[in-house]
Amino acid sequence: MANTCFNEVSFGGNHAAAMKAYQSFYDIVVVGKTDLPGFQGIDRPVVWDVSLENNRVYCYRSVGKANTDRISAFAAHFGADHHHYYIEPVTGLCGEVSNQNGKTMHIKLVEDDFGLTLYDPLSDQFYFRDTFADHEYELWPVLLNEKKILASGDAVERRIQGQLPLIDLGGTNFIMDWPHKEFRQADDERNHIPADSLMLNNEGDGYICLYDRKTGKVVEPPRLFHFTTGGLPARPAK
Provide DSSP, 89-150.
Answer: TTTTEEEEEEEETTEEEEEE--HHHHTT-EEETTTTEEEETTEEESSGGGGHHHHHHHHHHH
> How many domains does one find in the chain?
2
- The predicted model scores a pTM of 0.63
Cα dihedral: 82, 87, 88, 94 (round 10): 100
- Name the strands in the sheet holding 93-100, side by side, starting at the edge strand that comes first in the sequence: 47-53, 57-63, 4-12, 81-88, 93-100, 103-108
174 vs 40, residue with greater confidence: 174
- Per mean pLDDT, which of 86-90, 156-160, 171-175 is the most reliable? 86-90
The residue with greater pLDDT, 19 or 53, is: 19
Residue of 150 and 103 predicted with greater confidence: 103
- Looking at residue 234, what is its pLDDT? 47
Residues 44 and 137 reside in one and the same domain: yes
Both 102 and 126 in one domain: the answer is: yes
**What digits encode the pLDDT tens for the residues 56-114?**
788 888 887 888 888 888 899 899 999 999 999 998 999 999 998 888 889 999 988 99
pLDDT averaged over every residue in the chain: 79
What band does 230 get if pLDDT is binned at 50, 70 and 90? very low
User: Is the model's pLDDT at 42 over the cut of 50?
Assistant: no
Is there a single domain that holds both residue 77 and residue 190?
no
Pair 186, 87 in one domain:
no
Say what the pLDDT of residue 95 is: 95
The domain boundary residue, chosen from 123, 143, 160: 160
CATH number of the domain residue 139 falls in: 3.30.70.1270
Residue 39 shares a structural domain with residue 156: yes
Same-domain pairing of 13 and 130: yes
Pair 148, 231 in one domain:
no
pLDDT digits (tens, 9 = 90+) for 124-149: 999 998 899 999 999 999 999 988 88
Q: Which of 143, 160, 177 is the last residue of a domain?
A: 160
pLDDT > 50? residue 227: no
* % of the chain exceeding 90 in pLDDT: 29
Statement to judge: residues 136 and 199 lie in one domain: no
Q: Residue 3's pLDDT is what?
A: 79
For 195, the domain range is: 166-236
Indicate if the pLDDT at residue 29 is higher than 80: no
Q: Examine the fold and report which residue of 160, 191, 206 is the final residue of a domain before the chain moves on.
A: 160
Tell me: do 148 and 192 sit in the same domain: no
Using the predicted structure, report yes or no on whether residue 38 has a pLDDT greater than 60.
Answer: no
Same domain, 85 and 192: no
Give dist(CA 196, CA 235) in Å, integer: 17
Q: Residue 35 pLDDT more than 70?
A: no
Query: At 203, is the pLDDT very low, low, confident or very high (cuts 50, 70, 90)?
Result: low
Residues 82 and 101 in one domain: yes
Quote the pLDDT of residue 238. 45
Question: Same domain for 152 and 189?
Answer: no
